[in-house]
Amino acid sequence: MQEDFHFYTMYALARSAGFNADNSHIIAYSSQHTDDAKYEHALEFVNGGRFQQVLSAHRFLDLAALGKATCYRIWIPFHFLPGNLGVDFYERMLTRANSIVAQRILEDFLGSDLKAYSLHRLGIILHVYADTWSHQNFVGLIHENLNDIKALKIKGETGGGFRTILKGLKAKVVEYAGPKLGHAQAGTIPDEPFREWEHKDYQGRRYDISNPQRALDAAQNCYMVLLRFLRRFPHYALNPPMPWQEMVDVFSNLFDTNGEPGDRIQVWQAAISDGRFGFVPELKDKTLAYDDRQWFRQAVKVIEVSGEPDQYERLEGFEHSNWKYFHDAAAFHRFTTLHEVLPDYGIICG
């Protein structure tokens, strides 16, 4: 999934479920920022203290970082959650839509008490959950067979056109230039909601894939999670939820929208601003935009010194900032997934 789903779809779902605009933004921002948290160095503050960032993004790594340690630490808990189907270890590591492992993570979360970063953790979990649809049948490890894609065809694109797209990705994003990792051989095709495509795996099995159907199924299931959260913690509910069947056509039409990410984002922004999901738009709905550095700038001041490494200052309220809470939630999610949930299924990769 890309920003149009992880941020804008998630925001529309949260608002439709009954969350207010501010809390919907926290959930949606956390969902998208899971793809954008690209640093893991500790910040040593000039006004005292330090804070360890959590790396959850994989698009910004260099070629030297594409090893097993990175895969197990980033791809597995945040983007390619193992589905635990089959007998062989690597087959069980394949991501499966709405898998038993994903359900276990959701149940553990929905059964836990509130923490200061619970909404941020909800957003991260919904990112992982949605990715089980778009990343299904791929494994977040380098694997010659399981991630091999043969006879790839894309509706509306010639073979030469796709090869040009993939060549551009390989030049800009090391993930697509590396070995058979995740869906690298298919480029961004699995993450684009409007795509219809097909391919064969290493055993010759054919997959005929409708991304709009996958996106709609993912959205409906994410909506059910949001509703369950509000039933568990009803004080977060600003309004009664919208019935899914009254919104399904709007979501379906938006997922069918063809275009570059920026163009699709504008369509989502207009739909939210115009109130097409049933809730009454407020100012935040009408001016909705994602800035991947917004939370950081609200929590930390960067002090640039010529010829010296940057220095950092904690801003007032850092301990209660969304940026800190996101990293707290990411650290908790990674530890829980790798050291508590997956070992219960005999998957040891922490």
pTM for the structure as a whole: 0.95
Please indicate, yes or no, if residue 312 is contained in any of the structural domains: yes
Please indicate, yes or no, if residue 168 is contained in any of the structural domains: no
Predicted confidence (pLDDT) per residue in 62-89, tens digit? 655 678 888 999 999 999 999 999 999 9
What is the structure's pLDDT at 307?
87
Concatenate the DSSP letters of all residues of 117-152 into one string.
Answer: THHHHHHHHHHHHHHHHHTTT--SSB-TTTT--EEE
* φ/ψ (deg, to 5) at 2: -120, -170
pLDDT tier, 57 (very low <50, low <70, confident <90, very high otherwise): very high
Please indicate, yes or no, if residue 198 is contained in any of the structural domains: no
Sole residue written with tokens 């230039």: 177
Q: Which domain holds residue 215?
A: 3-140+211-344
Predicted confidence (pLDDT) per residue in 187-212, tens digit? 899 999 999 999 999 999 999 999 99
Greater confidence (106 vs 183) lies with 106
Query: Please, what sign has the CA dihedral across residues 288, 291, 292, 297?
Result: negative
What is the structure's pLDDT at 177?
58
Question: Under 8 Å CB-to-CB from 101, ≥6 apart: which residues?
Answer: 81, 82, 83, 84, 341, 342, 345
Please indicate, yes or no, if residue 197 is contained in any of the structural domains: no
Please indicate, yes or no, if residue 332 is contained in any of the structural domains: yes
Please indicate, yes or no, if residue 84 is contained in any of the structural domains: yes
Please indicate, yes or no, if residue 220 is contained in any of the structural domains: yes
